[in-house]
Structure 1
Amino acid sequence: MNPIVFVEALQKEIQSTQYGRHPAELYDPIQYIMSLGGKRMRPLLTLMGAYLFTDEWEKAIKPAISVEVFHNFTLMHDDIMDQAPLRRGQPTVHEKWNHNIAILSGDVMLVNAYELLLDITPDKLRHVLARFNRTAAEVCEGQQLDMNFETRWDVTEAEYVEMIKLKTSVLLGYALELGGIIAGADAESTNHLREGGINIGIGFQLKDDLLDVYGDPAKFGKQVGGDIIANKKTFLLIEALEKAGGTLLDELNGWLSCREFDKAEKVRAVTEIYDKLNIRQVTEQRISDYFAKGLSNFEQVQATPERKEMLLSFTRQLIEREN
């Protein structure tokens, strides 16, 4: 099976899905954000999770779209909280319409996500809804922790990893688990799928933190050093604050407290501090550890080697990404 078959099936379903028509101000923003594209990684993982155990993977298409709708709902509300002007290079919903419309349209998207799950057979629906509810709550918990961290300078590595696990990784885990549940997989295998998705997701976020400092601007797709300029609490900054001492810590705190500065100079200076503390090497090791855990989880799934290879190959490709 070629993964492009899954991609085409997802695109066809997304284009044909109707979220509502009237009033247009409520539903047009949903069609808009869903049309902006993106990697569609989460619904693709749901279909791959189902294909591990059944040839009837098509029955997972609508539930897979549910995951994508929920993901975009969180993005719509996150953009409001972050006051972000752009999403995937286009105006965010609250910029194109207004904040109130973005809030209400996002609320309806959550309802739409539940409606798309109703395509699941009754014998599995209760389990799926319970797992969806827990995952949705965890995503909100992660967002709240992220906001809490904005006013704290004592965030530990363990706290940061727990935050990114909740905010971004549990949804990857759920996407895979969902496919397995729909296909009738055993509980141990669906647990391995969920844990594998979570571990890979943590690795992705840590790699994103790393690429923001050390990535190739031509490949990364956004400004390198943006996190440093914004004093964003990333894994690298948290590690540096824990490891630095003496004049190096004074220098780092000086840049963090500085209100007026040359952006390029700050990025260069903080990067040099990271270099002196071997922060890049520490981060790369953590990334490698989480990716290895995730791949190990997938290896333990009770499915044929041929079917597992699609998921493993796709995951390895994602691991090698630089954007």
Structure 2
Amino acid sequence: MNSFASLVQQFETYFLSQKTFPQQPETLYDPCNYLLKLGGKRVRPVLCLMGNELFGDIIEDAWHAASGIELFHNFTLIHDDIMDKAPLRRGHTTVHEKYGLTAGILCGDVMAIYAYRQMSHVKNALEDVLEIFNKTAIEVCEGQQWDMDFETRADVSIDEYIHMITLKTSVLLAAALKIGAVLGGATDGNTEKIYEFGKNLGIAFQLQDDYLDSFGTDKTGKQNGGDIKSNKKTYLLLKALENATNEQRNAINTLLETDSENKVTEMLELFKTTGADAACRELVNLYSNRAFDCLDQIAVLSKRKQPLHDLASYLLQRDK
């Protein structure tokens, strides 16, 4: 069984050696190559490989599917950054900031098409793989739209927020694992368990990411406090509003209407005094435990599940 780190190296070598894009026109493909060469954790494609290896040796189809998943993920990043007006991605200038808005839009478009080209190279269970991939691609777009809609709504519930991050973030992790498992010949029961493992892992990961955006450091490669500055309806904000006294709620709403230099600092203090920060950490643990329970229920030898267990622990910064 390969470790996550080993598979990342193998995937990186395979993926970058593919020379996915032609050289011309440079104005279209240079931005694509720029983003892909920035790297990233490669979590989603490697989850596909790990889902495959959980049930047998990794087959060629899994490499094509993993590449398609990585291209699709990067397409969403390009367009998400445009919609969020984000200046940084992975600690570097975002595609639209570096190459312009038009280049960012078209670069994302073509990357999505190349993702489907990679998927079309799968020879086994192609119909099942495409069904999972298509359903997931639609859900990711729906999740992004919900996220954008929430920016203009003052009545977003925590349940709606969890539904949004499930679609926007976690279903792609879950689908990557499920596609790998399907290609590995897993039973329906096992494919559903590995999907639920990935879905709960993704929710926990996104909640943790929201937390780190506010309480982390610039080591994350993201703009510190970016969610607060852009008034994003994160779990922290929604929970703070839910728990707040009238005075605290007024303070939060006042901050949402300003761009003051102290906005981030003051909002962080309100997250703490309302208990939203502690509640977020508790919810991360809840979904983490659900994920590990699903992994435990997959009917394969425990030693085959160890790499996935280790990866989940790493992503969620758990000791076990």
Q: Is 1:261 equivalent to 2:281 in the alignment?
A: no
Hey, what does 1:203 align to over in structure 2?
204
Q: Secondary structure at the match of 1:303?
A: coil
Q: Cα offset for 1:83?
A: 2.6
Q: Does 1:50 align with 2:52?
A: yes
Give the equivalent residue in structure 1 for 2:273. Answer: 276
- For 1:6 and 1:100, locate their aligned partners in 2 and report how far apart those are by CA, in whole Å: 35
Corresponding residue pairs, total = 316
Offset of 1:80 from its aligned partner? 2.1
Distance 2:96 2:283 in 1: 36
Give the match for residue 17 of structure 2.
16
Q: How far is the alpha carbon of 1:260 from its aligned partner? A: 4.8
**Runs of 5+ unmatched residues, structure 2:** none
The reply to whether residue 302 of structure 1 matches residue 303 of structure 2 is no
Q: Which residue of 1 aligns with 2:81?
A: 79
* In 1: Cα distance, 2:8 partner to 2:225 partner: 33
Instruction: Read off the aligned partner of 2:261 and give its amino acid letter.
Output: D
Of 10-19 and 247-256, more deviation after overlay is shown by: 247-256
Point out the more displaced range, 98-107 or 196-205: 98-107
Q: How do 1:1-323 residues align onto structure 2 when only pairs under 5 Å count? A: 1-3=1-3, 4-17=5-18, 18-122=20-124, 124-215=125-216, 217=217, 219-257=219-257, 259-263=258-262, 266-320=263-317
Do the aligned partners of 1:79 and 1:92 also contact (CA within 8 Å) in 2? yes
Name the amino acid aligned to 2:140: V
CA distance in structure 1 between the partners assigned to 2:228 and 2:120 by the alignment: 44
CA contact (8 A) 1:120 1:182 kept: no
CA deviation map 1:52-103 (0-9, x unaligned): 0012345411211111000001111122222333322333222333322322
RMSD across aligned C-alpha pairs, in angstroms?
1.9
What is the Cα deviation at residue 31 of structure 1?
Answer: 1.8
In structure 1, distance between residues paired with 2:89 and 2:213:
18
Q: Is the 8 A contact 1:53 1:183 kept in 2?
A: yes
Deviation at 1:222, TM superposition (A): 4.2
Post-superposition offset of 1:162: 0.6
1:157–1:104 distance in 2 versus 1, CA, 3 Å: same
- Against the structure 1 CA distance between its residues 246 and 93, is the aligned structure 2 distance closer, same or farther, given a 3 Å change threshold? closer
- Matched residue of 2:185: which SS? coil
Tell me which amino acid in the other structure corresponds to 1:22.
Q
Contact persistence 1:155–1:238 (CA under 8 A): yes
Q: Which amino acid aligns with 2:310?
A: S
Shift of 1:171: 0.5
User: What displacement does 1:106 show?
Assistant: 1.7
Cα deviation 1:122-170 (Å, max 9, x = unaligned): 4x00011111111000000011001100111111000001111111111
Distance 1:161 1:221, change over 3 A: same
Measured after TM superposition, the shift of residue 37 of structure 1 is: 0.4
Aligned-pair identity (%): 45
| Structure 2 SS opposite 1:139 | helix
Provide the C-alpha distance between the structure 1 equivalents of 2:317 and 2:77, rounded to a whole number of angstroms: 25
Question: Which one-letter code corresponds to 2:252 in the other structure?
Answer: L
Q: Quick check: 1:206–1:235 contact (8 Å CA) kept in 2?
A: yes
Distance of 1:230 and 1:42 partners within structure 2 = 27
- Give the whole-Å Cα distance in 1 for the aligned partners of 2:97 and 2:264: 29
Bigger shift: residues 284-293 or 51-60:
51-60
Gaps of 5+ in 1: none
Change (3 A) 1:251 1:91: closer
Q: Quick one: which amino acid aligns to residue 264 of structure 2?
A: V
CA apart distance, 1:119: 2.7
Aligned to 1:19, the other structure's residue is in SS state coil
Q: Deviations over 1:273-319 (max 9, x none)?
A: 22232222211111111001111111111222111111111111111
**Letter of the structure 2 residue corresponding to residue 94 of structure 1:** H
Contact 1:13–1:62, Cα closer than 8 Å, also in 2: no
TM-score for both structures, normalised by structure 2:
0.92
Q: Which deviates more from structure 2 when the two are superposed, residues 173-182 or residues 227-236?
A: 227-236
Q: Is the alpha carbon distance of 1:106 and 1:213 closer, same or farther for their aligned partners in structure 2, counting shifts above 3 Å?
A: closer
